[in-house]
């Protein structure tokens, strides 16, 4: 029998389980030493004293990351492990104690008025933060964010009221959904009842058009029936969002999200508009797909239908690893080396098994430990892309491993740079190596469908939200809001797809719109930005690689806007974002050639 392929990760480098209690006690003692630093905090404090404190603080945070990181990763591969859960909760308790202890100093550093301390003014903040250049940007930024916070007591009241107000509404909305029973009845077949949406949604990808139609109708019918409830919840959330952002001094509803994401308002405006004006490339894809499926025009529920062209080829884990590593080597020596380090350190958990969580992620704990990558490898081409993507995140962290822990992570605009680059170079390699054109065609069609779902669809959600927040302010009914959504769908699809009237209620089933307003652009912002950078790489060739490496090595230590400007990229320019659609157009053009 062949040797079992794949790898399970080794967590001992973070913390062997038997040493957990020892480290726990050590941190407990460290936390008590905080009191020694407290009296020294004043705007005039000397720089050495400040640096000494920050170093001390970083050491504890590192220890806490080990203490919490180990059980967290352990639990993700064994979700039933009682021991992992116990250690995780013990670590969480200590983190809570730590943040209670340090809250005063954190708020003081942010420039807040704190009892018993003289407020830290901007000038002195700059003088002190300059001593730690890698942390300066992050610390100044948290002062900027703090300007939008209210008095301590007001914040407390808001937190409490959110727990019993907006928070409950979001839960209630979910409860309404989970109680749905779906009647699934494709034409000419017997009716089936589904108790959860996931089971029903599988049929959206069915080869059978009647099944796709029945699944979509059955799903949306429920939202139509309950539209008044969904509207009531959404309207309240939108009003709450407005009262909150106005009180906190933000200029617009979306700005709250933009500032949190380190993104200028203008960049989002331009990005959304570029998505909008490039919607024709996806409409072209839908027309192409209709032809492939032998239809005159796609209906909305056909857009995820599979093309009947190639059966999936299995790619072994070892093959996939080889392909990813050799492609990375070709792209840049640094990429290859860093990916190898993650693999050689045994920081990958590769295959699905019982009680392991689904999906994939990359977790970076601290600069001195290589990141950990969780995969659920099942031998498909998509899994190869996922491997490249998650290793890309790890590579990014390793490029920034010279920085202190708090500055290692890139902020949103740049956080998907290495992952998307990794995914793109590997995708191109796979296309090149594919057995025949049929396989290439299937791969490109999947890519177009995926990119529609992550790019255009998300952009339109955000554009809808902008209009919806405006409309709620002026006053609107559930039916009018659904009409507004329908108008946006018509714009998005043009005449490439027939949209049946039931789709006007689709907005109600998008949880992010309610739970985390304007979050949907975060899904695609990083990816599109990296695609636009990739377009630059395609034009400039290998000369662009050191520029990318420089961007990566900044981690989160600099303003993303400034980092990009250094390599001649302006996030607020249309031309730059158009680059990402050149890539998408390239895929579609190739697809039509096969
Ligand atoms: Zn990612």
Q: How far is the CA of 425 from the centre of ligand 1 (A)?
A: 15
Q: Does residue 542 share a domain with residue 430?
A: no
Q: Are residues 543 and 449 in the same domain?
A: yes
Q: How far is the CA of 414 from the centre of ligand 1 (A)?
A: 11
Q: Are residues 45 and 140 in the same domain?
A: yes
Confidence at 3, pLDDT banded by 50, 70, 90: low
Ligand 1 geometric centre to CA of 362 (Å): 8
Task: Enumerate residues with CB within 5 Å of ligand 1 (an ion).
Answer: 419
Same domain, 452 and 325: no
The reply to whether 382 and 503 lie within a common domain is: no
Q: What's the rounded Cα separation, in Å, for the pair 461 and 512? A: 9
pLDDT band at 2; cut points 50, 70, 90: very low
Say which residue, 129 or 199, is predicted with more confidence: 129
Give residue 493 CA to ligand 1 midpoint distance, Å: 27
- Interval between CA 393 and ligand 1 midpoint (Å): 7
Contact in structure between 511 and 490 (CB atoms under 8 Å): no
250 Cα: distance to centroid of ligand 1 (angstroms):
29
Q: Are residues 94 and 237 in the same domain?
A: no
Residue 526 within a domain: yes
- Cα 521 to ligand 1 centre (Å): 14
Q: Separation of 40 CA from ligand 1 center, angstroms?
A: 41
- Tell me which residue range forms the domain holding 418: 314-434
Asked whether residue 481 is assigned to any structural domain, the reply reads yes
Give me ligand 1 centre to Cα 451, in Å.
14
pLDDT at 156 over 90: no
- Is the separation of the CB atoms in 40 and 53 below 8 Å? yes
Instruction: Answer with the one of 379, 403, 434 that is the final residue of a domain.
Output: 434
Instruction: Examine the pLDDT at 75 and tell me if it is beyond 50.
Output: yes
Q: How far is the CA of 182 from the centre of ligand 1 (A)?
A: 33
- Distance (Å) from CA 408 to ligand 1 centroid: 16
Is residue 134 domain-resident? Answer: yes
The alpha carbon of 588 and the centre of ligand 1 are apart by a number of angstroms equal to 23
Q: Tell me whether residue 165 is in a domain.
A: no
pLDDT the model gives residue 120 = 96
Which residues have CB under 8 Å from 473's CB, separation 6+? 242
Q: Which two tokens stand for residue 482?
A: 């659904």
Distance 203 CA to ligand 1 centre (A): 27
The pLDDT of residue 182 is: 93
Determine the distance separating the centroid of ligand 1 and the alpha carbon of 419, expressed in angstroms: 6
Do residues 526 and 407 both lie within one domain? no
321 and 367 fall within a common domain: yes
**371 alpha carbon to ligand 1 midpoint, in Å?**
14
The reply to whether 503 and 585 lie within a common domain is yes
Centre of ligand 1 to C-alpha 390, Å, is 7
CA of 411 to the centre of ligand 1 (A): 12
C-alpha of residue 341 to centroid of ligand 1, in Å: 19
Q: How far is CA 575 from the centre of its chain?
A: 25
Give yes or no for a contact between 471 and 480, defined as CB atoms under 8 angstroms apart.
Answer: yes
For residue 389, report the distance from its CA to the centre of ligand 1, in Å: 6
Strand partners, 394: none
Q: Residue 455 Cα, ligand 1 centroid: separation in angstroms? A: 14
Give the lowest-confidence range in 236-245, 370-379, 507-516, 525-534: 525-534
pLDDT at 439: 87
Kindly give the distance from the C-alpha atom of residue 171 to the centroid of ligand 1, in angstroms, as a whole number: 27
Across 83-87, 205-209, 556-560, least confident range: 205-209
- Same-domain pairing of 414 and 336: yes
Do 562 and 590 fall within a single domain?
A: yes
Tokens 């996931």 correspond to what residue?
198
- Tokens matching residue 372: 């950990």
Distance from CA of residue 312 to its chain's centroid?
28
189 Cα–ligand 1 center, Å: 41
Task: Examine residue 267 and state whether it is found in any structural domain, yes or no.
Answer: yes
* Separation CA 536–CA 530 (nearest Å): 10
- pLDDT attached to residue 167: 87
Residue 336 sits in a domain whose CATH number is 3.40.390
pLDDT at 190: 92
Torsion (CA) 519, 524, 526, 528 in degrees, nearest 10: -150
| Number of folded domains that form the chain | 4
23 contacts: CB under 8 Å, gap ≥ 6: 15, 63, 66, 67
**The domain boundary residue, chosen from 147, 165, 195:** 147
1 pLDDT exceeds 70?
Answer: no
Give residue 253's Cα distance to chain centre: 20
134 plus 78 within the same structural domain: yes
């Amino acid at each position: 029998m062949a040797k079992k392929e794949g790898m399970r990760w080794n967590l001992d480098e973070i913390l062997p389980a038997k040493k957990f209690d020892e480290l726990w006690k050590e941190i407990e003692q460290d936390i008590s030493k905080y009191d020694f630093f407290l009296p020294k905090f004043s705007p005039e404090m000397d720089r050495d004293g400040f640096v000494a404190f920050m170093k001390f603080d970083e050491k504890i945070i590192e220890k806490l990351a080990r203490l919490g990181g180990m059980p967290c990763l352990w639990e993700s591969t064994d979700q039933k492990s009682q021991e992992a859960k116990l250690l995780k909760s013990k670590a969480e308790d200590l983190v809570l104690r730590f943040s209670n202890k340090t809250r005063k100093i954190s708020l003081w550093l942010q420039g807040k008025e704190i009892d018993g301390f003289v407020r830290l003014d901007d000038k002195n903040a700059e003088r002190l933060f300059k001593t730690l250049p890698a942390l300066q940007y992050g610390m100044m930024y948290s002062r900027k964010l703090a300007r939008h916070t209210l008095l301590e007591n007001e914040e407390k009241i808001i937190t409490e009221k959110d727990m019993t107000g907006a928070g409950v509404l979001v839960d209630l909305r979910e409860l309404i959904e989970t109680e749905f029973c779906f009647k699934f009845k494709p034409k000419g077949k017997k009716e089936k009842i589904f108790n959860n949406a996931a089971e029903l949604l599988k049929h959206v990808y069915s080869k059978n058009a009647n099944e796709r139609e029945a699944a979509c109708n059955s799903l949306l019918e429920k939202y139509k029936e309950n539209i008044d409830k969904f509207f009531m919840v959404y309207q309240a959330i939108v009003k709450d969002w407005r009262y909150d952002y106005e009180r906190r001094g933000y200029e617009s509803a979306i700005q709250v999200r933009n500032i949190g994401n380190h993104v200028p308002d203008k960049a989002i405006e331009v990005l959304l508009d570029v998505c909008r004006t490039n919607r024709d490339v996806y409409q072209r894809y839908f027309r192409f797909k209709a032809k492939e499926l032998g239809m005159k025009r796609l209906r909305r529920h056909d857009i995820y239908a599979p093309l009947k062209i190639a059966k999936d080829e299995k790619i072994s884990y070892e093959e996939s690893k080889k392909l990813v590593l050799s492609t990375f080597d070709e792209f840049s020596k640094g990429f290859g080396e860093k990916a190898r380090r993650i693999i050689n350190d045994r920081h990958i958990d590769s295959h699905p098994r019982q009680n392991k969580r689904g999906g994939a992620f990359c977790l970076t704990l601290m600069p001195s430990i290589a990141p950990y990558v969780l995969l659920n490898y099942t031998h498909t081409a998509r899994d190869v892309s996922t491997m490249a993507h998650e290793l890309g995140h790890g590579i990014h962290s390793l490029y920034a491993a010279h920085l202190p822990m708090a500055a290692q992570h890139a902020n949103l605009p740049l956080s998907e740079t290495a992952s998307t680059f990794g995914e793109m170079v590997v995708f191109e390699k796979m296309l090149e190596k594919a057995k025949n054109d049929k396989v290439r065609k299937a791969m490109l069609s999947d890519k177009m469908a995926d990119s529609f779902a992550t790019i255009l669809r998300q952009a339109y959600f955000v554009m809808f939200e902008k209009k919806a927040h405006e409309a709620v302010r002026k006053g609107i009914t559930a039916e009018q809001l659904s009409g507004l959504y329908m108008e946006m769908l018509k714009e998005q699809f043009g005449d490439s797809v027939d949209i049946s009237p039931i789709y006007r209620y689709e907005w109600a089933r998008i949880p992010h719109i309610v739970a985390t307003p304007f979050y949907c652009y975060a899904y695609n912002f990083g990816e599109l930005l990296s695609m636009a950078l990739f377009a630059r790489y395609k034009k400039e060739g290998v000369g662009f690689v050191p520029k990318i490496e420089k961007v990566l090595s900044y981690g989160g230590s600099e303003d993303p806007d400034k980092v990009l400007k250094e390599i001649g990229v302006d996030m607020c320019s249309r031309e730059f974002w158009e680059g990402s659609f050149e890539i998408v157009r390239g895929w579609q053009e190739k697809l039509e050639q096969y």
